[in-house]
Structure 1
Amino acid sequence: MKKFFRYLLKMFAGIIVFIVSLVILAFVVFNWPVGSKNENMRFGISYSPVFARSLGLDWQKAYLDILDGLEIKRIRLASYWSEVEKKKGQYDFSETDWLLEEARKRNIDVIFSYGIKVPRWPECFIPDFYQNSKAEREATLLRYEKVLIERYKDYENIIMWQVENEPFLPFFGQCPLQAIDGDLVDREVAQTKTLDASRPVMVTDSGELSIWYRAAKRADIFGTTLYRTIYKPQIGYFNYPLGPNFFRAKALFIRVFARQKNIVISELQAEPWGPKWLDEMSIEEQYKSMSPEKLRDITEYAKRTRFSEAYFWGAEWWYWLKTEKENSEMWEAAKEILSR
């Protein structure tokens, strides 16, 4: 019996050593210096009137000032279902019409996102009257998306559709339980392709918290988030100990198993992630997770993934700092990067 227990103990110890060795090996590989980088990476921004309003900004003025002041060439916009359908069965696309028209006037390429989950907190934007019935919610979602695609598919500057935003990241955001599943995403993608076969469809996922497969296999183009510094109440600020090879390894994985080789960084961190809401933190606190220096660093990091393009997440904050706090440091740092 003692020999048996000693055998079990050795086997358990061997397994632990093997796992630890794998972790150490992965850490070394992921953080191995990357010599080459994509110096031709294209940069754009995301913009949300919902987030701009939450910062107390005039969302239209902020949008125009950002487009013109930063000479934006690429942008990711979204349609917020709960904002469009405030009365059951009645759609008001006036806000989205205006956003897209101003981008079209300036020949700005647009990624257009829609679904239950779209960029910005609280992530899920479901009209109140569709919260409780899954069947009704999905049927009305598809009807709303059909109207939306038919309304905007003649905008020549829309370069791709984005179906949902990180649909397979269930634990982030204020969303009904199982609000989105693979079957729903499949139906959304299929409907989009039926209504407009001329444009690619992008599906996105978390860069650090997912293996990408479920999103990548459904998409013509896969979009990943990329964050470097986040905040967790239990541990405080946390820097991901992952080099660009972490993203290259995952890119290889989906290339082999999902036959997906088209990857963009759909959400590149360019605003703080701290213990409080933005306007409740001092500039010093905000700069702990995002600053001009950190913006330049994450830009170089993104280039070393060797993906084709990246969309900064934080333009509304740069503008807020500039106009409300008389601090143009982030604005100028971003302008320098975007103008290259």
Structure 2
Amino acid sequence: MTLAKQFGYAIKLFGRIFALKAVQLVTIGLALAIVSPLVFFYFVRPKPATHINYGVNFSQKYATELGLDWKKSYTQILDDLKPKYARLVVYWDISEPQISNYNYSDIIWQLDEAKKRDVKVILTMGRKVLRYPECHEPNWWKQSTDNQFKEDALLKYIETTTNQLKSYANIFMWQVENEPMYPFGDCQKQTKETVEKEVAVVKSLDARPIMIQDSGEGGFWRPDYLLGDYLGISMYRRTWYKFFYFNYPLAHWTYKVKAVLTGVPVEKIIVTELQGEPWGPVINSKLTEEEKQKSMSKQQFLETISYAQKSGFNNIYFWGAEWWLWEKEVNNNPFYWETAKAVIQN
């Protein structure tokens, strides 16, 4: 048989095989399996936001741990970086060091300073809030073994805090707990039922929206989002995990696609923690220059900002402003401060 005849025979055989209904169905199924993800991605792919509202996080505890004067650091951040948005935190162990003995002077001062500069605030409160060890409960609460007493005390604290601070018009959103369902930090386990009660207390006292935070990388998102009105997420690129550094293998479009797949409206998501500092085995002020470069070199800082800008979210809060100030004033390295300043004020 000549080569031409062999080829013609093969074509006829292929035609007969493809004429079989089962083969047609399989072929169509494979084509859909290949094309459908591409079509899905085409419609949900993120486009860089035309306008981004940049904010900063601030923790008086972290500034103090870095060896800075936390009040001076806070006003320097507000006056030099000039953010229009800030995420602040009410630490329970500072605000209620003894049971029913409340002292809100530190957060009142922060809110007053923000108000003077017309800075809008997301205010975080609860057991689990910003900065390691994540949970910042007072000792009298941690030492109790009565779970009902502990829940009642927590809800009373949430009620008192809301009533004490709700007069500040520059608070535009409450955050109840920080990654309450995500297993990170030195914390006693939190339950969904207790967080629901905390949210209910705030809603009964004030009409402003409530945000619940989840891990942008490891969280399930929708369960936390359903607890409140908005979802806060982290955006980390390289972190330290016990004995090694871990690079998250996530493209910038991952977060938008995850929002669609989990049924969380993109417009209801705030990037509350954009990694802007190293994450190493010890506090950043103790890291060597070589160690800092492993998780937040100058190039990584620029790449992380670009990554976030391409993710498609309109509200992005930097994590690490206290460290930028430490680098500038203690380590004579103004790069991170000046770069962030240019981005925030653009």
Q: CA deviation at 1:288?
A: 1.9
Question: In structure 2, how many angstroms separate the alpha carbons of the residues matched to 1:246 and 1:318?
Answer: 28
Question: In structure 2, how many angstroms separate the alpha carbons of the residues matched to 1:153 and 1:107?
Answer: 16
Aligned to 1:125, the other structure's residue is in SS state coil
- 1:249 maps to 257
Pairing partner for 2:228 from 207, 219, 228: 219
Uncovered stretches (5+) of structure 2, i.e. residues with no partner? 1-32
Question: In structure 2, how many angstroms separate the alpha carbons of the residues matched to 1:305 and 1:231?
Answer: 23
Aligned to 2:253, the other structure's residue is in SS state helix
1:201 and 2:210 correspond? yes
Question: In structure 2, how many angstroms separate the alpha carbons of the residues matched to 1:328 and 1:96?
Answer: 28
RMSD: 2.0
Question: In structure 2, how many angstroms separate the alpha carbons of the residues matched to 1:146 and 1:254?
Answer: 31
Structure index of larger Rg: 2
Pairing partner for 2:199 from 185, 189, 211: 189
Cα distance change of structure 1 residues 200 and 53 upon mapping to structure 2, 3 Å threshold: same
Indicate if the aligned counterparts of 1:220 and 1:260 stay in contact, CA closer than 8 A.
Answer: no
Q: CA deviation at 1:295?
A: 2.2
Indicate if the aligned counterparts of 1:37 and 1:305 stay in contact, CA closer than 8 A.
Answer: yes
Percent of pairs with identical residues: 39
- 2:185 maps to 173
Q: CA deviation at 1:35?
A: 7.2
- 2:283 maps to 277
Question: In structure 1, how many angstroms separate the alpha carbons of the residues matched to 2:336 and 2:291?
Answer: 14
1:57 and 2:65 correspond? no
Aligned to 1:83, the other structure's residue is in SS state helix
- 1:77 maps to 88
Indicate if the aligned counterparts of 2:46 and 2:256 stay in contact, CA closer than 8 A.
Answer: no
Indicate if the aligned counterparts of 2:252 and 2:310 stay in contact, CA closer than 8 A.
Answer: yes
- 1:239 maps to 247
Uncovered stretches (5+) of structure 1, i.e. residues with no partner? 1-21
Indicate if the aligned counterparts of 2:46 and 2:312 stay in contact, CA closer than 8 A.
Answer: no
TM-score (norm 1): 0.85
- 1:119 maps to 130
Question: In structure 1, how many angstroms separate the alpha carbons of the residues matched to 2:262 and 2:152?
Answer: 31
Indicate if the aligned counterparts of 2:48 and 2:310 stay in contact, CA closer than 8 A.
Answer: yes
Residue identity matched to 2:141: Y
Question: In structure 1, how many angstroms separate the alpha carbons of the residues matched to 2:46 and 2:115?
Answer: 38
Q: CA deviation at 1:277?
A: 2.2
Indicate if the aligned counterparts of 2:46 and 2:253 stay in contact, CA closer than 8 A.
Answer: no
Residue identity matched to 2:226: K
Indicate if the aligned counterparts of 1:216 and 1:254 stay in contact, CA closer than 8 A.
Answer: no
Question: In structure 2, how many angstroms separate the alpha carbons of the residues matched to 1:259 and 1:288?
Answer: 34
Question: In structure 1, how many angstroms separate the alpha carbons of the residues matched to 2:46 and 2:194?
Answer: 41
Indicate if the aligned counterparts of 2:234 and 2:272 stay in contact, CA closer than 8 A.
Answer: yes
TM-score (norm 2): 0.84
Q: CA deviation at 1:138?
A: 1.3
Point out 4+ residue stretches in structure 1 off by more than 3 angstroms. Answer: 258-261
Cα distance change of structure 1 residues 262 and 201 upon mapping to structure 2, 3 Å threshold: same
Q: CA deviation at 1:261?
A: 4.8
- CA offsets, 1:86-123, max 9 Å, x none? 12210011101101100000000100000010011110
Question: In structure 2, how many angstroms separate the alpha carbons of the residues matched to 1:87 and 1:326?
Answer: 41
Count of residue pairs the alignment pairs up: 306
- 1:38 maps to 49
1:337 and 2:343 correspond? yes
Question: In structure 2, how many angstroms separate the alpha carbons of the residues matched to 1:142 and 1:35?
Answer: 39
